[in-house]
Amino acid sequence: MNPFASISTLPFELPPFALIAEEHYRPAFLDGMSEQLAEIAAICASADAPTFDNTMVPLERSGPLLTRVAEVFFNRSSSDSSDFTNALEEELAPLLAAHADAIRLDPGLFTRIAALQEQRDRLDLEPEERYLIERYFTEFTLAGAGLDDDDKARLRDYNKRLSTVTTRFEKNLLADTNDLALVLDDVSELDGLTPGQISAAAEAAHERGLTGRYVITLVLPTSHPYLAQLTNRGVRERLLAASRSRGIRGGQFDNRALVLEISRLRAERARLLGFDSHAAGVTADQTAKTPEAVADMLGRLAPAAARNARAEQADLQAQIDADGGAFELAAWDWAFYTERVRRARYDVDTAAMRPYFEFERVLQDGVFYAANRLYGVTFTEQPDLVAWHPGARVFEVTEADGSPVGLYIIDVYTRDSKRGGAWMNALGSQSTLIGTPTIVCNNLNVPRPATGEPTLLSFDEVVTLFHEFGHALHGLFARVTYPKFAGTNVYRDFVEFPSQVNEMWMLWPDVLTNYARHHETGEPMPQDLIDRIHASSTFNEGFFTSEYLAAALLDQAWHRIGADDRVTDVAAFEASALAAVGLDNPAVPTRYSSTYFAHTFAGGYDAGYYSYIWSEVLDADTGEWFAENGGLTRANGDRFRSRLLGVGGSTDPLAAYRHFRGRDADIQPLLDRRGLN
Ligand SMILES: [Zn+2]
């Protein structure tokens, strides 16, 4: 008996992890896909005219087996992967892509949805039902469902060619990144790095057959973290130059021709779908709606960010001059002198904070405490419930009146089988239609301490925990009818908003004093240290905002070209795009140059890299609302929960925002927070 074949009988329908074995996944996926295709075929075979109940409802109910197996498998392949999951994932990827296309490009299904879209004003629909039709219609249209057969064939050709060239871009980038790792001969050249970092560099050299030398491997963004530490200016220059030369050296790993081809193919595909540009097609299905709206927002921020970066540059130059360095600040000096100025001016040493951030206290007395004060919910660990790994802990979430909300699972520690970073996912999503209980998961990558030692988090790890927990609350609190709108199923340029908001409580005075206590003495974090954290909050924000905006604007520029535009020179295109918005300061390079901008050219964030700051406008404006209305109270939490978190994706997010805030979001709080006034 395959455990995926039926609904779990465990509390909250927790998947029966103890019973699931490797051989259960593949057949469940294959059966799940064919079951869903049969369900879709049955919808289309109906001789009755399309109605909401005979088309949208069965479409939303379709594929329960596929949903069950996919939730468990993709959680596992991210959090506890193996050769088995890697191989199955590779086998499944094209099958699942073809399965999604088979549904979205099904002419019979699209005809029915299009008919409902056309009649939607005359049908007696609930707002969520009407929105469901509109969302499906838009998504299917953007995927090409409305094209005739010839154009559908052309679309498939574009998609196929794009998947080939974006994969090649990614492979070239990986190869060139490895090839350009910095090789150093003498340990003195590594001065400024910690002993651990130096032995890692020696080990990396040994692995490459360069025993006795040192290798610094590159990271994806332009700026390497070691640039803040390396005292040898020549080594810093070489490290930054290596980073920036990825994909532009000529030879087999050069990505320039691919950048031109990818942007051209996307523009042509957009024209086929009826858009002026790829950016127009992407933003049509986001809260931004148009590339002009994105350009307007980024354009408002860019001049102030550039101006602040120039002021920071003057400070750094003053530090260089005071040190007797007879040179002009260059891009490779920025991080190094920033650290010097930060220590001198604010005396903030992030290492000194760790003893106040013991994990269990942060979780229980910080993260859970803030949620309890705001929303009345409590979290009770359920050691009898087994998750996917012994390190994954299960908590039952309960309302103030004792009624159940769902399960929250947290898997804290890093391990070889877990991918990097931190994220939230769901093993069960609320919807009235299906009635599935909610199970949300947070995965972090905190290094496990030595046996018997406490887990002391860094400042950034505490931010991350509050952030990911914000996504978890979004998943837990949504109360929608249709699965399509469950929890965090919202637009990409909106999804980070609830998680960014939850970060606010980390340094909120009532919360901080409740959890930030020395793990040995129990003493609260000294007020003086807290003050210095607040005082330094806008430090170097001119640089960070500028390098981010430069990348976001480049991403937009490449995807606003029309199908007939001919760009032939990557470097010239980049230079003129950055100069047009005043972000061409040579001391502040873009976070990614085009030839190593994987977010946009390998895909995923193409024409969408703006999303991070887009949702931060709402976040900062919400922070101001909480501050104006008394902060951490049940009344405030309930309003935020019912009007924003609770609606999931079931309504237009900006309308939900207006309902919460009483007006549209104002950009001013973001400008204040980032010092961009
Ligand atoms: Zn997030």
Phi/psi of residue 588, nearest 5 degrees: -125, 80
Please count the residues of the chain.
677
CA of residue 489 to ligand 1 center, whole Å: 13
Find, among 14, 151, 132, 1, the residue nearest to 72 by Cα.
14
Residue 351: the pLDDT is 64
Residue 603: the pLDDT is 73
CA of residue 499 to ligand 1 center, whole Å: 6
CA of residue 472 to ligand 1 center, whole Å: 10
CA of residue 466 to ligand 1 center, whole Å: 10
The token pair that represents 671 in the structure block: 């400008």
Find, among 675, 377, 326, 362, the residue nearest to 516 by Cα.
362
CA of residue 491 to ligand 1 center, whole Å: 13
DSSP secondary structure of 207-260:
HTT-TTSEEE---SSSS-GGGGT---HHHHHHHHHHHHTTT-SSSTT--HHHHH
- The residue assigned the tokens 């596992």 is 76
Residues 6+ apart with CB under 8 A from 666: 621
How far apart are the C-alpha atoms of 176 and 249, rounded to whole Å? 9
The token pair that represents 523 in the structure block: 């003493």
The token pair that represents 498 in the structure block: 């609830």
Residue 353: the pLDDT is 83
CA of residue 506 to ligand 1 center, whole Å: 15
CA of residue 336 to ligand 1 center, whole Å: 29
Please give the DSSP secondary-structure letter assigned to residue 524. Answer: B
CA of residue 273 to ligand 1 center, whole Å: 31
Chain centroid to CA 630: how far?
30
Positions in the chain whose pLDDT score sits under 70: 349-351
The token pair that represents 345 in the structure block: 């001016």
Residues 6+ apart with CB under 8 A from 423: 78, 442, 443, 468, 471
The secondary element (H helix, E strand) that includes residue 486 is none
- The residue assigned the tokens 């949504």 is 478
CA of residue 413 to ligand 1 center, whole Å: 18
CA of residue 505 to ligand 1 center, whole Å: 16
Residues 6+ apart with CB under 8 A from 106: 40, 44, 145
3-state secondary structure of 271: helix
How far apart are the C-alpha atoms of 196 and 441, rounded to whole Å? 32
CA of residue 58 to ligand 1 center, whole Å: 32
What is the amino acid identity at position 250? G
How far apart are the C-alpha atoms of 334 and 336, rounded to whole Å? 6
Residues acting as catalytic residues:
468
Angle at 323 between CA 320 and CA 325, to 5 degrees: 60
pLDDT tens for each residue of 501-515: 999 999 999 999 999
3-state secondary structure of 348: coil
**Other Cβ atoms closer than 10 A to 571:** 12
**Strands 439-446, 404-413: parallel, antiparallel or unpaired by DSSP?**
parallel
CA of residue 619 to ligand 1 center, whole Å: 12
CA of residue 442 to ligand 1 center, whole Å: 11
The token pair that represents 505 in the structure block: 């409580």
Q: Give burial (CB, 10 Å; 0-12/13-18/19+) of 438.
A: buried
Residue 363: the pLDDT is 98
CA of residue 187 to ligand 1 center, whole Å: 39
Residue 445: the pLDDT is 86
CA of residue 415 to ligand 1 center, whole Å: 21
CA of residue 468 to ligand 1 center, whole Å: 6
CA of residue 315 to ligand 1 center, whole Å: 33
CA of residue 464 to ligand 1 center, whole Å: 8
Q: Are 116 and 55 in contact (CB under 8 A)?
A: yes
CA of residue 402 to ligand 1 center, whole Å: 29
CA of residue 610 to ligand 1 center, whole Å: 14
Q: What is the pTM of this model?
A: 0.89
How far apart are the C-alpha atoms of 439 and 65, rounded to whole Å? 17
Cα–Cα distances in angstroms (integers) from residue 483 to residues 28, 110, 458, 500, 677, in the given order: 20, 19, 37, 24, 42
3-state secondary structure of 492: coil
